Structure 1
C-alpha cells in the first residue's frame, strides 16, 4: 500500500477488494462523483480512506 495517510490509490483499492486496477479506478471514480455531488473537492485517482471505509463493507 502507498504511504499517503489520508487517501487510497487505485493500487490500494485493487488489493483491498481483490479486483483489477481498472476496476479500482472505476470504483474511485464512482465514489468521487458522489463526493462532488455533495460539493466536495476530489483528487482524481485517489479516494479518502475515511469515505471509502464508510461506503464499502469489507
Structure 2
C-alpha cells in the first residue's frame, strides 16, 4: 500500500494543473508565503498536499489525479526482453 504524499513538489503542481514549471514555482512561492504569514514552517519548492486540496476549488483528492498522471507516463514494457 502506497502512503499518501505529504508534500507536493513543483513538478507535481505543474503536472496537476497543466502549468509550466516556471509558473508552478511562482504558485508554490505564493502558497508558501501564505503559509509563512500564518506562522507555519515552509519547505522551499514543496507545498503540503492538504493545503493544496483546501485552496483549490473542486480539488478533493490530489493523489487520484497524480496517479492518473503517473500511470499515463509509464513506458510500456518490452515483452521481448522478459523471456
TM-score by length of 1: 0.88
SS at 2:52 equivalent = helix
Determine which structure has greater relative contact order: mean sequence separation of CA pairs < 8 Å that are 6+ residues apart, divided by chain length: 1
Check 1:4–1:25 CA distance in 2 against 1; reply closer, same or farther (3 A cut): farther
Partner residue in 2 for 1:11: 11
Partner residue in 2 for 1:22: 22
Gaps of 5+ in 2: 60-83
State the 4+ residue runs in structure 1 displaced beyond 3 angstroms. none
Instruction: Say what the alpha-carbon RMSD is for the aligned residues.
Output: 1.6
